[in-house]
Amino acid sequence: MDKIEIEKAPEDEKFSKIKALAKEAYRFLDQGRFKEAKERLEILLDEDPQNTYGLVGMGDYYAKTKQPEEAIKFYRRCLAGDTTNKFSLMGLMNCYRDLSSLKKIIEVAEEFHHITITDASILSRVADAHRKLKNFKESEVYYMEALQLNPNDQYVIVGLGHLFFACQRYSEAIHWWEKLLSSQPNNIKILTEIGNSYRKIKDFDKAVIYYERAKDLDAKNFFALYGLAESFRGKKDFETAILYWEKILEFDPENKLIINRYADSLRGLGKYDKALECFNKILASGEDYFALLGKAAALKLIGDHLKAEEIYLTLLTKSPNDPRPALELADLWDLMGKRDKAIHMLEDLSKKLPSNESIREKIEFLKD
């Protein structure tokens, strides 16, 4: 008995030393004291080159210091010796995410399928990768599997909200955002996401409710103000839309997107000269497709048909497969008594874009 205890003593001492080094190293990593963390981890791995705490810790060190390629080597070493280590697999996936190697995330998930299927966070990472690659069916499968393991996992629920929004299944997106909002009623990001979803289905009144809640929490929140302006623009309430565009322009006066939207709302109110000033301001700093499109529409409305026609023809040359300038030019040519020319142009474009309903409807209207 005494002999056994004597033989175990050096091993117990080594284990205690490794445990102390690991604990200290992880504490330093959490504190951002990376140099000290690395020193402890190097000593630990000298003592035990295959120690999983040391390998994962060194992977974490390189990941935290923005060296994902080096981190991958240590996570791989750990998984080679411990094929069930979920921390290494998660670290590996995070590194590939940082490297924008989404396909690699899916590959390692399949390689270590036996780990993947046991952890909601790992399944969520795979679902995220599929979603960003627009593999929406696969993404939904992984999110749902994650949800079965942890029905309240907030990252999974956020992912489902983004997934269904990307799939244009807006009612389902709202369901998941609302589920998250029930536990985070003052989360501005969630409030604006719900507003965005309602705006997409043109339920502008409901969208406004959520954007208003977000604005009440942060009066200068860009997404809340943008959503409000777009919702009122969708309702054709251009005066209210302009108020919100102006609020954004107070703190972001050079934002071309907002100036464009502001000018569109001015055009909606019939303030064509002021709208043209805005479009020209954008174009003074360089060519802008949407400013040109807006300027042409404003010129058409004030009767300057030749200048509007020139801009539309230029846009068609640069973007021959974009139906917007063609549809607006067709309306302009109809006003100018060139209906046959408009029909011929749209019929040519319809051959390139046969599934575009707007082109087909415009042709039918012009032929009626």
Kindly report the average pLDDT of the chain as a whole number: 93
Whether residue 3 has pLDDT greater than 70:
no
Q: How many CA atoms lie within 13 A of 77 on its CB side?
A: 19
Note the pLDDT of residue 44.
Answer: 94
Note the pLDDT of residue 128.
Answer: 97
DSSP label at residue 184: -
Contact in structure between 231 and 245 (CB atoms under 8 Å):
no
**321-337 pLDDT tens trace:** 899 999 999 999 999 99
pLDDT band for position 11 (cuts 50, 70, 90): low
**Mean pLDDT of the region 352-356:** 91
Note the pLDDT of residue 4.
Answer: 38
Whether residue 15 has pLDDT greater than 90:
no
**Mean pLDDT of the region 7-26:** 78
The crossing angle, in degrees rounded to 10, of helices 357-367 and 323-335 is 10
Whether residue 9 has pLDDT greater than 80:
no
Whether residue 20 has pLDDT greater than 80:
yes
Note the pLDDT of residue 13.
Answer: 79
**41-88 pLDDT tens trace:** 999 999 999 999 999 999 999 999 999 999 999 999 999 999 999 999
At position 209, the amino acid (one-letter code) is: I
Cα(312)–Cα(304) distance, rounded to whole angstroms?
13
**127-169 pLDDT tens trace:** 999 999 999 999 999 999 999 999 999 999 999 999 999 999 9
Cα(359)–Cα(202) distance, rounded to whole angstroms?
22
pLDDT band for position 7 (cuts 50, 70, 90): very low
Cα(201)–Cα(207) distance, rounded to whole angstroms?
10
Q: How many CA atoms lie within 13 A of 160 on its CB side?
A: 26
Whether residue 19 has pLDDT greater than 60:
yes
